[in-house]
Amino acid sequence: MGTWSDFLAADHELAAAAHTLLFQYGPGLGYLATVRADGGPRIHPVSPVIVDGGLFCFLLDSPKRRDLERDGRYALHSYPPEHSDDEVCLTGIAAPVADSGRTTRIAGAARAAPEVDWRLFELKIGVAVVVHRPYSTTTTAPVSRQIWRG
């Protein structure tokens, strides 16, 4: 498992492509998949942030947050772009951030409201997959897939 900084240092071009897809609309947007207690998937939209060398999500008290507290496995998938079918999917382990100083620093950078019952998780990356699939209504465009393993 690696941090966002590890990913960026190991494959700058691929990390930049992943960043572009996750932040294509300004703030980070993605679908976070977690594992329910019964083993089934749970998927919700989230706004990830990249701060302090890590990839983070603030999660309110919810089934999704309890999933990660019980079983940290996750998948984060980008929203679809308007003019291509490109996508990024990151999988790994989400860990609660225990360092209160780091949590405060990241909350300030991400403008997270301090009075809200959220918990900060760092998304450690095990595998990053970026797929480039040009949008075409007339032909089958070539697809490229790049993978990084942390």
Split at pLDDT 50, 70, 90, the class of 115 is low
pLDDT tens string 72-113: 999 999 999 988 889 999 999 999 999 988 988 888 888 877
Q: Report the predicted TM-score, pTM, of the whole model to 2 decimal places.
A: 0.93
104, 96, 90: which is closest to 121 by C-alpha? 96
Going from N- to C-terminal start, the domains of the chain cover 4-149
Please tell me which residue, 88 or 137, carries the higher pLDDT value: 88
Cβ-in-10-Å burial (0-12, 13-18, 19+) of 74 comes to: buried
Q: What is the pLDDT of residue 140?
A: 74
Q: Under a CB-based contact definition with an 8 Å cutoff, are residues 46 and 31 in contact?
A: yes
Q: What is the pLDDT of residue 138?
A: 67
Mean pLDDT of 133-147: 80
Average pLDDT, the chain: 93
Mean pLDDT of 21-46: 97
Q: For the domain 4-149, what is the CATH code?
A: 2.30.110.10
Cβ-in-10-Å burial (0-12, 13-18, 19+) of 112 comes to: middle
